[in-house]
């Protein structure tokens, strides 16, 4: 039975797919959840979007050239409110670069779990239902910064900005002389309660850093070493039973085991961080090793975007991956200049993205004045520690 929204309408999905069997399977799987219109080309998709401004979501098969489609829809007046989910065979797609930035909200690989896609689709429907009901998300006490913590942040961030103002001026001049580009780098970050704000640092990277990111995926410190795939493409259970693959998937006309495929999918990193990052400038390495590049964030603390201690605010494309209940708890804590993860794993220690999330969630559950004081003391001890990341 289709989900009916507050205005009596249904959630509208445009599915762009040229494979009749995949189109049929998609409609059978999700046709009872949303109203699905299927087209088989970019031309037909653009016609539908221009004719029907009420389409909520586009599900696009990357095989049909997603970049061309995303560039083309920018000329449609209503495309600003349109979300896109990509179906792809690509190992990884950087959603922080154009034309994906701000338009593609999720990526599902061929052979994806229908249950996982159903969960994502249901979330989007509920999100629209709530928005159309005229309600606003209440500010729950669990995601409100304690008054004492906020007063501490205001007083000390103001005093520190006054004390270090000569240093800030000197660093600003050096950044300008060291390389072309702006003095400060401001980027969107997601903090407490999924609030989005501009976080400021001294610029430590080249101006073309974002363009270089896509080619550096293999150097990500959060990558989990990919397990070697068996030549016979059989999982351990099938091999021990002496049978053929009991869970076959077909990706690009090649049969793979579902268990092996999803094991590799889980190995993909949620965060990005690089050792000996080639995008960092000469001065930028020094500023990062001494944490001087973080000093402009005292302004973010004074504004209330962040606190001295908390969970590091994430770029939107990383935060969007952490919407499951077990992960989202990290956003119940204030965004911080330093935090439990930094003082626990700083200095080149091996850390997985799951360990980082667990530390963030732990802080969200346990943070207090005593915890914050301990983290500040450990941060001061570690602040001069060298790490080229």
Report pTM: 0.50
pLDDT digits (tens, 9 = 90+) for 42-76: 999 999 998 888 899 999 999 999 999 999 998 88
* pLDDT in the model for residue 103: 86
Largest CA distance in the chain: 73
Alpha helices (H) in 107-146, listed in sequence order:
114-132
* pLDDT in the model for residue 289: 84
CA neighbor of 265 nearest in space, from 72, 81, 107: 107
As for how many domains the chain has, the answer is 3
When pLDDT is averaged across residues 258-265 and rounded to a whole number, the result is 57
First-last CA distance in the chain: 51
pLDDT at 85 over 90: yes
- Of 132, 167, 195, which residue is a domain's last? 132
When pLDDT is averaged across residues 121-138 and rounded to a whole number, the result is 70
Task: Let me know if 57 is exposed, middle or buried by CB neighbors in 10 A (0-12, 13-18, 19+).
Answer: buried
pLDDT digits (tens, 9 = 90+) for 175-205: 999 888 899 988 889 889 888 899 999 998 8
Q: In this structure, are 128 and 145 located in the same domain?
A: no
pLDDT at 288 over 50: yes
Q: In this structure, are 61 and 156 located in the same domain?
A: no
Q: State the helix-helix crossing angle for 114-132 and 20-30, rounded to 10 degrees.
A: 60
Q: In this structure, are 54 and 102 located in the same domain?
A: yes
Q: In this structure, are 110 and 248 located in the same domain?
A: no
Domain span at residue 308?
A: 141-213+271-382
Q: In this structure, are 254 and 307 located in the same domain?
A: no
Please state, rounded to an integer, the average pLDDT across all residues of the chain: 78
DSSP conformation class of 387: -
Asked if 204 contacts 281 with a C-beta cutoff of 8 angstroms, the reply is yes
Q: In this structure, are 71 and 182 located in the same domain?
A: no
Asked if residue 220 belongs to a domain, the reply is no
Asked if 313 contacts 360 with a C-beta cutoff of 8 angstroms, the reply is no
CA neighbor of 187 nearest in space, from 96, 107, 271, 63: 96
Give strand pairing partners of 58. Answer: 14, 84
Asked if 200 contacts 301 with a C-beta cutoff of 8 angstroms, the reply is no
pLDDT digits (tens, 9 = 90+) for 140-174: 444 678 899 999 999 999 999 999 999 999 999 99
Give strand pairing partners of 205. Answer: 280
pLDDT digits (tens, 9 = 90+) for 296-333: 999 999 999 999 999 989 888 777 767 655 677 888 88
% of the chain residues with pLDDT over 90: 28
| 38-39-40 Cα angle (round to 5) | 130
- Of 112, 132, 152, which residue is a domain's last? 132
Q: In this structure, are 327 and 363 located in the same domain?
A: yes
Asked if residue 90 belongs to a domain, the reply is yes
Asked if 315 contacts 187 with a C-beta cutoff of 8 angstroms, the reply is yes
pLDDT at 355 over 60: yes
Q: In this structure, are 183 and 199 located in the same domain?
A: yes
* pLDDT in the model for residue 40: 92
Q: In this structure, are 201 and 293 located in the same domain?
A: yes
% of the chain residues with pLDDT over 70: 70
Task: Output the DSSP codes for 165-210.
Answer: HHHHHHHHHHHHHHSSS-SEEEEEEE-GGG-EEEEEEE--B-TTHH
Which two three-digit tokens encode residue 243? 């049978």
**What is the Cα–Cα distance from 301 to 160, expressed in whole angstroms?**
11
Q: In this structure, are 183 and 110 located in the same domain?
A: no
Q: In this structure, are 86 and 186 located in the same domain?
A: no
Q: In this structure, are 318 and 299 located in the same domain?
A: yes
* pLDDT in the model for residue 139: 44
């Amino acid at each position: 039975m289709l989900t009916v929204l507050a205005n009596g309408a249904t959630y509208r999905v445009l599915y762009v797919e040229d494979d009749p069997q995949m189109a049929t399977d998609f409609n059978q799987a999700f046709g009872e959840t949303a109203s699905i219109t299927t087209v088989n080309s970019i031309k037909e998709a653009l016609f539908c979007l221009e004719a029907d401004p009420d389409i909520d979501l586009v599900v696009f098969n990357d095989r049909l050239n997603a970049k061309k489609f995303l560039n083309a829809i920018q000329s449609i007046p209503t495309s600003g409110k349109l979300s896109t989910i990509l179906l792809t065979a690509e190992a990884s797609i950087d959603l922080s670069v154009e034309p994906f930035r701000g338009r593609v909200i999720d990526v599902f690989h061929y052979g994806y779990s229908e249950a996982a896609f159903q969960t994502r689709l249901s979330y989007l429907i509920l999100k629209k239902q709530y928005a159309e009901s005229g309600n606003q998300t209440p500010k729950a006490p669990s995601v409100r910064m304690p008054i004492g913590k906020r007063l501490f942040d205001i007083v000390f961030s103001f005093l520190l900005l006054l004390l270090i103002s000569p240093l800030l001026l000197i660093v600003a001049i050096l950044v300008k002389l060291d390389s072309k580009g702006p003095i400060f780098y401001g980027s969107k970050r997601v903090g407490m309660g999924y609030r989005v704000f501009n976080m400021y640092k001294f610029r430590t990277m080249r101006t073309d850093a974002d363009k270089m990111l896509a080619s550096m995926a293999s150097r990500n410190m959060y990558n989990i070493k990919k397990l070697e795939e068996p030549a016979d493409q059989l999982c351990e259970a099938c091999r021990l039973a002496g049978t053929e693959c009991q869970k076959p998937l077909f990706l690009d006309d090649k049969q793979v085991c579902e268990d092996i495929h999803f094991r590799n999918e889980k190995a993909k990193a949620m965060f990005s961080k690089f050792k000996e990052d080639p995008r960092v400038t000469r001065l930028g390495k020094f500023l990062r090793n001494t944490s001087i590049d973080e000093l402009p964030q005292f302004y973010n603390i004074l504004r209330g975007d962040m606190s001295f201690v908390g969970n590091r605010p994430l770029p939107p494309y990383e935060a969007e991956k952490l919407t499951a209940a077990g992960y989202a708890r990290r956003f119940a804590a204030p965004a911080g200049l330093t935090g439990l993860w930094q003082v626990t794993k700083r200095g080149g220690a091996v850390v997985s993205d799951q360990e980082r999330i667990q530390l963030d969630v732990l802080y969200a559950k346990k943070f207090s004045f005593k915890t914050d004081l301990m983290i500040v003391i450990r941060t001061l001890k570690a602040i001069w520690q060298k790490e080229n990341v």
